[in-house]
Amino acid sequence: MRKQLNQYPAQLVLETPLEDTVLIRAAKAGDVAACEELIRRYDVRLLRIVQYLTGNRNDAEPIVQEVFVTVFEELDRFREDSQFWTWLIRITLDQPLMKLPDEQAEEEWFHDHHSLSEAKHLPVNVTDWAPNVEELYRPTELAGILRRALQELSPGLRMIFVLRDIAGLSLEQTAEATGLSLHAVKIRSMKGRLHLRDGLSKWFHQE
């Protein structure tokens, strides 16, 4: 018998946040309410991430809509031992409008592999943006400055910075979501933080 989310007691559904796993299993069984709850839980977070990556909301909104269409078409392929948020981001990065042009991808690959010899010249510790770089700037007009500064980064560096320091993914989760090696993620993360630190250093001093 197909298990539906609306078969749970109404009080449980309304007052107790359900684990993603419960919602995913219900959604796989065809429960529309479970699908809607998963969208409600992640759509704003995902829109913010895509907006940082693309640079504008008009491009971000249709991408996020297409992501959720793909998610529910491929939900049966989701392994429940993985994190849903990481899987959601991986599907987002696979959207056609999110992919780097082939020439750009090859250039990024070249720089990543040459970074093997450059790594020893990078600082061991780069400023930790904890608790969250977005939280630091949200209360002020500097949020707009941060967004503009991000657009000055190369697409590869911007992607890693947004996933690591705004979406809050670990190095391992970022590598899984992007398909890059852990080393490439570390190098891009360091470079992205250094570039942004240089561009925003005057604001950090004021803070």
For the chain, domain boundaries: 5-97, 101-206
For residues 184-194, average pLDDT: 91
pLDDT digit string (tens) for 56-108?
888 899 999 999 999 999 999 998 878 899 999 999 999 887 765 554 544 55
124: helix, coil or strand? coil
Alpha-carbon distance of 45 to 20, in angstroms, equals 15
Cα 182 from Cα 175, distance rounded (Å)? 6
Enter the pTM of the model. Answer: 0.70
* CATH 1.10.10.10, domain 101-206, yes or no: yes
pLDDT digits (tens, 9 = 90+) for 20-67: 999 999 999 999 999 999 999 999 999 989 988 888 888 899 999 999
Distance of CA 75 to the CA centre of its chain: 19
Cα–Cα distance between 54 and 49 in angstroms, integer?
9
Asked whether the beta carbons of 33 and 10 are under 8 A apart, the reply is no
Q: What is the pLDDT of residue 138?
A: 54
To the question of domain 5-97 being in CATH 2.30.40.10, the answer is no
